[in-house]
Amino acid sequence: MASIQEWIKQLGSGSESDQTRKFGTFAGVFVPTVLTILGAIMYLRLGWVVGNAGLLGALVIILLAHVITISTGLAVSSISTNIRVGAGGAFSIISQSLGLEVGGSISVPLYLAQGVSTALYIFAFAEGWQRIFPQHPMVVVVFLAFAVVFAIAFISAKFASRIQFVILGIVGFSLFSVVLGSFPTAVQPGMIYEPTWLGSFPDGDFWFVFSVFFPAVTGIMAGISLSGALENPRRSIPKGTMSAIGVTLLIYLFLAFWLARVATPEEMITNTTVMVDKAYFSWAVLAGLLGATFSSALGSLLAAPRVMQALGNHGVLPYGRFFAHETAEGEPRHAMLATAVIVLLAIIFALVGGGLNAIAPLITMFFLITYFMLNAVVLIEQMLNMVSFRPTFAIPKVVPLVGMIGCLVVMFLINPLFSLAAISLAIFVYAYLLHRQLNAPWEDVRSGLFISLARFAVERVSSLPAAPERTWSPNVLAPVTSTKALRGSYRFLSALTLPKGTVHIIGIYPPGQPEQVLDMDTLAHSFQKDGVPAWISLLEDEDFINGTRLAMEVLTGSFFRPNMLFLPLQINGSRERAAWLLSRAAALSHIGIVLLAQHPVVGLGQEQVINVWMREQGPDWKLGLRLANLDLAVLLAYQFRQNWNGRINLCMVIAQEETTPVALAFLEELRELARLPANTRIILLVGSFWDALPQSPPADLSILGLQAQPDLDFVEKVVKIVDASCVFVRDSGDESALA
């Protein structure tokens, strides 16, 4: 006797070739989309909509809902012809454009919406069933229907697809019976009523009626979500989706007109199965109702687990490997079981909270936020105007724009509270996924988006007057010969640049020896992880000094240029060439110099106290917008104090005691105008510089000015006397500590 597992496998697959064969356009997109759209709302709520809104109001609701759906369908069709749509439908589309974080944040609500939709369709099935068997309790019918739907979906998608073909025929015959009901016969009087054009909405709430109807047109997700099971998603999604939307729109418009002519508003409002009573063959519409609602529930229960499987496969969900698991036949059984739990919870909520009408607005919110993002993805791609976006099915920019605006406006008009809840859930999931730092197997357009914004900003800035003092931030050029040469200065550079600065590393290597700079990506990644944007450029040059000179001259001409050159005291090459490089850098406009002499034993010490040394400012002792080679020193001192949570000492040596009052007033004014912290101390020393230097308070870092013609003897002597790490700086001319 064959085992149960073997029986299920044979029932679901039919043959070995079927297991590997995927769906085409008709079976994979058109049929599930049509059956999901022509489902519960059409049979059980369209009459209620027409009765409450009147024929004109109903037509407006149908067309408004389809404006959003058609825009979204066109947007999805367009982008699906530009990318390789993988498993997960909307998740795959959004993730490939805006990253896994955005795709996951939207697809989690989408998954929940599809799961809850299954409950909606099961309740609709139960309403139709009770029309035939009114003595059967609603609770029993709902749970038995769920059990049957789950069993079929659990067996195989192929098996479910075969059942949907039969149901499509039943639905088609039920609509034919409706058409026959238009004519007067011995069974039905036909279309005898003049339509009520405008009804009285419940409590005057047009948007409540709209929210009840809108789930009818969310069926496009049923076909799109099966993208991973399609033979050719690029061809099937546009053709199947748009043809299904067009056919079902015509059917809904006809049915709204038909209902307004064959029934009174009171009948349509009070009798949810009015279509059954007014059709030529009542049993045919009942069969169509049961078949369509059953098929819609089946389609949603097939689509939702595949979205969950895609989320798990890319690590979006916790325990992703468990949910991504699939059988040898390609069935996501683990995701199916998890979805069954979601559906059961939705069923319990509906039983307690009021049935079908209680679920519909919740589903509406989740689908609208998904539709909004699908339209946004296409609009962003269109606005970037990149060569990589060249869909074979192109649409005007106004289409996704209308879809976006429509979704957003309708969300808040229907229910602001549910809208905020849906958006908050998406933002929460996005923040969670951003924290997890997911690795996508594809490239997205986020970098292109920021490049376009940067290009726009560059064009705007170029047309405005320059204001380097107000926009200054530490952007460092760091030439090195190996990663090891820069690793010792890592903490210094981090404290120098955080939170808004950048580091541009130039790896200079001898001809034919790039191996000594190949591992610089690791260091750049560390900078990035600590919040400092870092870039790497490699330059082949046998001479470090010459390579640095070339880098300075090239990069200082770029828009996003470095504004200071960082060098350690031990510069490669002779002292003469080092002095020449420093003087060459000092002669260049718009680039400052930061020369670090780091103590070999204590390094940066406790990273607390910073001494800023300045010369006498006599004879006028006046503060202008710029200081004499002092702006960069003050700004860097503030940077270190901020990142170390330390203290600044403003140190000055004066030649005569009589100068003390004016010098003290100058430093106090400097502290105030430069907005230095209140705990900044003023240190005044009398005598010669070399005599006063040893008397200065100890510091973890001392900052001093560097001459226009750098004197390395002076630098080495200061370092020896201070016996701590020192920084020698030269202004670029673009800084102002007082701006």
Mean pLDDT of 291-314: 82
**How confident is the model at residue 355, as a pLDDT?**
54
pLDDT bin (cut points 50, 70, 90) of residue 312 is confident
Looking at per-residue pLDDT, the higher value among 52 and 332 belongs to: 52
Asked if the structure places residue 463 within a domain, the reply is no
Asked if the structure places residue 458 within a domain, the reply is no
Among 164-168, 438-442, 508-512, 637-641, the range scoring the smallest mean pLDDT is 438-442
Q: In this prediction, what percent of the chain has a pLDDT beyond 90?
A: 22
**How confident is the model at residue 652, as a pLDDT?**
94
**How confident is the model at residue 242, as a pLDDT?**
92
Are 271 and 418 in the same domain? yes
Q: What is the CATH number of the domain that holds 408?
A: 1.20.1740.10
Asked if the structure places residue 443 within a domain, the reply is no
Tell me the pLDDT of the chain averaged across its residues.
Answer: 81
Are 282 and 429 in the same domain? yes
Mean pLDDT of 106-112: 80
**How confident is the model at residue 204, as a pLDDT?**
67
Asked if the structure places residue 460 within a domain, the reply is no
Among 2-16, 180-194, 362-376, the range scoring the smallest mean pLDDT is 2-16
Mean pLDDT of 67-95: 81
d(CA 296, CA 163): 12
Residues pairing with 508 in the sheet: 539
Among 406-415, 568-577, 619-628, the range scoring the smallest mean pLDDT is 568-577
Task: Please say whether the beta carbons of 633 and 729 come within 8 A.
Answer: yes
d(CA 242, CA 220): 9
Asked if the structure places residue 10 within a domain, the reply is no
Among 71-85, 134-148, 393-407, the range scoring the smallest mean pLDDT is 71-85
Are 174 and 202 in the same domain? yes
Name, of 219-228, 331-340, 411-420, the range with top average pLDDT.
Answer: 331-340
Per the structure block, which two tokens stand in for 713?
């003897």
Is the pLDDT at 577 greater than 70, yes or no? no
d(CA 440, CA 104): 11
DSSP helix/strand/coil, 234: helix
Task: Please say whether the beta carbons of 222 and 38 come within 8 A.
Answer: no
**How confident is the model at residue 667, as a pLDDT?**
92
Looking at per-residue pLDDT, the higher value among 689 and 512 belongs to: 689
Are 648 and 704 in the same domain? yes
Per the structure block, which two tokens stand in for 163?
């059942």
Q: How many other C-beta atoms lie within 10 A of the C-beta of residue 183?
A: 11
Among 122-126, 450-454, 551-555, the range scoring the smallest mean pLDDT is 450-454
Half-sphere exposure of 433 (CA within 13 A, CB side): 27
d(CA 736, CA 624): 10
**How confident is the model at residue 699, as a pLDDT?**
94
The predicted-structure confidence for 127-166, as pLDDT tens digits, reads as follows 778 878 889 998 899 999 999 988 888 876 677 777 878 8
Looking at per-residue pLDDT, the higher value among 471 and 275 belongs to: 275
d(CA 303, CA 161): 12
Closest CA to 275 of 246, 295, 254: 254
| Domain-terminating residue out of 542, 560, 595 | 595
Looking at per-residue pLDDT, the higher value among 313 and 402 belongs to: 402
**502-509 and 534-540 as β-strands: parallel, antiparallel, unpaired?**
parallel
Are 327 and 406 in the same domain? yes
How much is the pTM?
Answer: 0.65
Q: Which residues contact 341 (CB under 8 A, 6 or more apart)?
A: none
Asked if the structure places residue 11 within a domain, the reply is no
**How confident is the model at residue 482, as a pLDDT?**
79
**Chain mean position to CA 592:** 38
**534-540 and 647-654 as β-strands: parallel, antiparallel, unpaired?**
unpaired
- Kindly report the backbone phi and psi dihedral angles of residue 72, in degrees, each rounded to the nearest multiple of 5, phi listed first: -65, -40
Are 585 and 521 in the same domain? yes
Task: Please say whether the beta carbons of 722 and 715 come within 8 A.
Answer: no
Is the pLDDT at 309 greater than 60, yes or no? yes
Mean pLDDT of 82-86: 72
| Domain-terminating residue out of 595, 625, 658 | 595
**How confident is the model at residue 556, as a pLDDT?**
67
Is the pLDDT at 653 greater than 90, yes or no? yes
Q: CA of 317: how far to CAs of 227, 327, 579, in Å?
A: 20, 19, 58
Is the pLDDT at 458 greater than 70, yes or no? no
Is the pLDDT at 559 greater than 80, yes or no? no
Asked if the structure places residue 362 within a domain, the reply is yes
Mean pLDDT of 300-312: 82
Task: Please say whether the beta carbons of 339 and 346 come within 8 A.
Answer: no
Task: Please say whether the beta carbons of 726 and 629 come within 8 A.
Answer: no
Q: In this prediction, what percent of the chain has a pLDDT beyond 70?
A: 85
Are 567 and 475 in the same domain? yes
Burial of 355 (0-12, 13-18, 19+ CB in 10 A): middle
Mean pLDDT of 22-35: 83
Are 508 and 619 in the same domain? no
Is the pLDDT at 387 greater than 70, yes or no? no
Looking at per-residue pLDDT, the higher value among 704 and 629 belongs to: 704
Domain that holds residue 608: 598-739
Are 590 and 619 in the same domain? no
d(CA 541, CA 289): 78
Question: What is the C-alpha R_g of the chain?
Answer: 36
pLDDT bin (cut points 50, 70, 90) of residue 353 is low
Is the pLDDT at 336 greater than 60, yes or no? yes
Is the pLDDT at 10 greater than 50, yes or no? no
Per the structure block, which two tokens stand in for 275?
């279509």
Are 566 and 606 in the same domain? no
pLDDT bin (cut points 50, 70, 90) of residue 703 is very high
d(CA 615, CA 259): 92
Please, which contacts does 127-132 make with residues 24 or more away whose CB atoms are closer than 8 Å? 127/44, 127/272, 127/273, 127/356, 128/43, 128/44, 128/273, 128/286, 128/289, 128/290, 128/293, 129/290, 131/273, 131/276, 131/286, 131/289, 132/286
Name, of 37-41, 43-47, 605-609, 711-715, the range with top average pLDDT.
Answer: 605-609
Report the b/e string of 433-457 with b at 16+ CB within 10 A: beeeebeeeeebbeebbeebeeeee
Q: What is the CATH number of the domain that holds 625?
A: 3.40.50.620
Mean pLDDT of 537-544: 84
- Residue by residue, DSSP assigns 117-158 as HHHHHHHHHHHHHHHH-TTS-HHHHHHHHHHHHHHHHHH-HH
Q: CA of 93: how far to CAs of 102, 117, 148, 187, 400, in Å?
A: 11, 21, 32, 51, 14
Among 90-94, 167-171, 296-300, 424-428, the range scoring the smallest mean pLDDT is 90-94
pLDDT bin (cut points 50, 70, 90) of residue 466 is low
Asked if the structure places residue 445 within a domain, the reply is no
Report the b/e string of 27-39 with b at 16+ CB within 10 A: bbbbbbbbbbbbb
Closest CA to 251 of 288, 198, 299, 224: 288
Is the pLDDT at 692 greater than 70, yes or no? yes
| Domain-terminating residue out of 436, 459, 492 | 436
**How confident is the model at residue 5, as a pLDDT?**
43
**How confident is the model at residue 2, as a pLDDT?**
42
Is the pLDDT at 690 greater than 70, yes or no? yes
**How confident is the model at residue 394, as a pLDDT?**
87
Are 404 and 420 in the same domain? yes
The predicted-structure confidence for 493-502, as pLDDT tens digits, reads as follows 999 998 888 9
Q: In the chain, how many domains are there? A: 3
Q: How many other C-beta atoms lie within 10 A of the C-beta of residue 179?
A: 12
Among 19-23, 301-305, 511-515, 537-541, the range scoring the smallest mean pLDDT is 19-23
pLDDT bin (cut points 50, 70, 90) of residue 316 is confident
Are 500 and 639 in the same domain? no
Closest CA to 636 of 601, 644, 628, 447: 644
**How confident is the model at residue 456, as a pLDDT?**
63
**How confident is the model at residue 17, as a pLDDT?**
41
Mean pLDDT of 543-558: 77
The predicted-structure confidence for 204-234, as pLDDT tens digits, reads as follows 678 888 888 887 887 787 777 667 667 888 8
Is the pLDDT at 451 greater than 70, yes or no? no
